[in-house]
Amino acid sequence: MNILIAAGAVLILIALLFLRSTVRHLRRGRLLRAGGSATFCVATAALGTVGALLFVSYLGYERLTAEQLVGVIEFSQKSPQEYTARLMVDGEIDRLLILRGDEWQLDARVITWKPPATILGLEPVYQLERLSGRYASVDRELTAPRTVYALAEERPLDLWSLARKFPTLTPGIDAFYGTATYVPMADGARYRITLSRDALLARPINDRARRAVGAWGQVAQ
């Protein structure tokens, strides 16, 4: 990570040096040399800007080591197939969201690295993407009101999006994939959400959630 910061600082310094050279050549009437220095200045500044935006995007993701706690979610029923979800993620303000349906689904983005990125000390990272309600019936899924909420902050340049659109420009990214989990909603149910390098997991942590999952599993069978 320190190497990334140092590289960005070097690019900014180089851009400033080219800017200084451009000004000096202009004062002396050397228009051709001034144009060359200005071109290098713009190119270096652009690289530095892209690098800074990607660095900010990387900081927006959470580090992923072993299976780790992402957060806790609990539900209170407002009406049939309508619930208030309280999403509690460490370090963030709790979110109260209305979900419609029988089940809730959480989606996340995951990025892992390979050389040369691993040499820079980059770790696998993840970012929660969206929370949505879903219906057990496909017909209801097609016709009933849907609810979905974005959890990821929009950025001018995002690592995950860049890797999807331009994989040749991100040779240090080993894998980028989406993962999701969905289980039933129930009044008073609480779930613990964890993430491993393979998938999101939702585990019931109270009796109401365990009963909901148990009944759901029997129906699914």
pLDDT digits (tens, 9 = 90+) for 67-126: 688 899 999 999 999 999 999 998 889 999 999 999 999 998 887 767 655 556 666 777
The residue type of 182 is Y
State percent of the chain over pLDDT 70.
Answer: 52
Where would I find the H helices in the chain? 2-27, 31-59, 138-143, 159-165, 207-220
The predicted structure's pLDDT at residue 220: 42
Any idea where the domains of the chain sit in the sequence?
Answer: 2-59, 63-220
H-helix or E-strand spanning residue 146 = none
Residues 103 and 75: beta-carbon distance below 8 Å: no
The half-sphere exposure of 58 on its side-chain side, counting CA atoms within 13 A, is 19
Q: What is the rounded CA–CA span in Å between residue 6 and residue 9?
A: 5
Helix (H) or strand (E) holding 64, with range, is none
Q: Which residue has the tokens 């180089």?
A: 14
Give SS3 for 183: strand
Q: Are 173 and 163 in contact (CB under 8 A)?
A: yes
For the cut 80, the answer to whether the pLDDT of residue 37 exceeds it is: no
H/E segment holding residue 29? none
Tell me the pTM: 0.64
Q: State yes or no: cis peptide before 116, omega within 30 of 0.
A: yes
